[in-house]
Amino acid sequence: PIARVKLDKLRNRHVREWRGRLEATPALVSRAKKGEPVTRKRAASTVNRDMAVFRAALAKVLSPGAPNSEAAWQEALKSIPNANGRRTIYLDRGQRRKLLEHIPAEAAPFVRALCLMPLRPGALAALTAGDFDKRTSELTIGKDKTGKPRRIQLPNDAAQLLASQVALKLPTAPLFIRNNGMAWTKDSWKHPIAEAVKAAGLPAEATAYTLRHSTITDLVTAGLPLLTIAQISGTSAEMIERHYGHLASDAAITALGQLSL
């Protein structure tokens, strides 16, 4: 195990072999104590995140080794290029409704919100009751990957859902709460979604992030400007263009086709 190797003895082969074992290990989707564990192939983007953390930690205590030598531990931690490719799993509205039909009641409000707003699951889970103003139907997203708070105006369906969740809650209470009184986390939402995906007969690879991808896809194909979508979803216009620009082109062709006389 790499944990037993002393830092001054760390070599490229140690890191390379450890990385190989990690890449071959399936990613755990469900941590349920009962039933068969749900796993999926470890994505290249996931490997890159793991490498980035380990590389940063080692860089604090070790200098890079000479290039193309056994001492070059850093070379075994290089990122996989173009790992953040397009998210290909898309659930249409009918499939999302089917998913909601199989979601346990405890998780239903949280998952329904993921179907109505293109937010990251973590950002949605971090919301508090005070982040939603039911008088104006405005939602403030503070804790997100971008690090910059933003406010969005919600349509009627989403506003009604959030209004039902803030009822009788203190402003600091989680907006979406579990039966144990805690906020949702990556480990707690994985299992109910994975089980509902299986029960609904949907693609096994579908996750909470699939819902974000699906809602963004719908916004793009509806013709909403990519910059507006980027602002709503809390990401860069460049990322939206890279992953969804081809859909905008399709929408443009459809719109142009409607000009036929």
Q: Is the pLDDT of residue 17 over 70?
A: yes
Q: What is the pLDDT of residue 33?
A: 65
pLDDT at residue 87 tops 90: no
Pairing of strands 39-40, 27-28: antiparallel
Give the number of other Cβ atoms within 10 Å of residue 134's Cβ: 16
Provide the pLDDT confidence category of residue 41 given band limits of 50, 70 and 90.
Answer: confident
Element (H, E) at 58: helix 44-59
For residue 82, pLDDT beyond 70: no
What's the CA gap between 253 and 245, in Å, rounded?
13
Q: Residue 256 above 80 pLDDT?
A: no
Half-sphere exposure of 99 (CA within 13 A, CB side): 29
In this prediction, residues 7-16 reach a mean pLDDT of 93
* 174-227: pLDDT as tens digits: 999 999 999 999 999 999 999 999 999 999 989 999 999 999 999 999 888 999
Instruction: Tell me the Cα Rg of the chain.
Output: 22
| Cut 0.75: pTM above it | no
Q: Tell whether the model's pLDDT for residue 261 goes beyond 90.
A: no
* CA 95 vs CA 50, 121, 185, 199, 257: distances in Å: 32, 19, 24, 12, 29
- In this model, does residue 86 exceed pLDDT 70? no
Q: Is the pLDDT of residue 72 over 60?
A: yes
Q: What are phi and psi of 133, to 5 degrees?
A: -100, 105
pLDDT of 231 strictly over 80: yes
Question: What integer best gives the mean pLDDT of the chain?
Answer: 89
Backbone angles phi, psi at 152, to 5 degrees: -130, 145
**For 250, phi and psi rounded to 5 degrees?**
-60, -40
End-to-end Cα distance, the chain:
70
- Residue 84 is predicted with a pLDDT of 61
Domain spans of the chain, in order of start: 2-77, 93-257
Q: What is the pLDDT of residue 91?
A: 96
Pick the CATH number of 93-257 from 3.40.50.300, 3.30.450.20, 1.20.120.1200, 1.10.443.10: 1.10.443.10
Calculate mean pLDDT across residues 37-64.
86
Q: Look at residue 1 in the predicted model and tell me its pLDDT.
A: 78
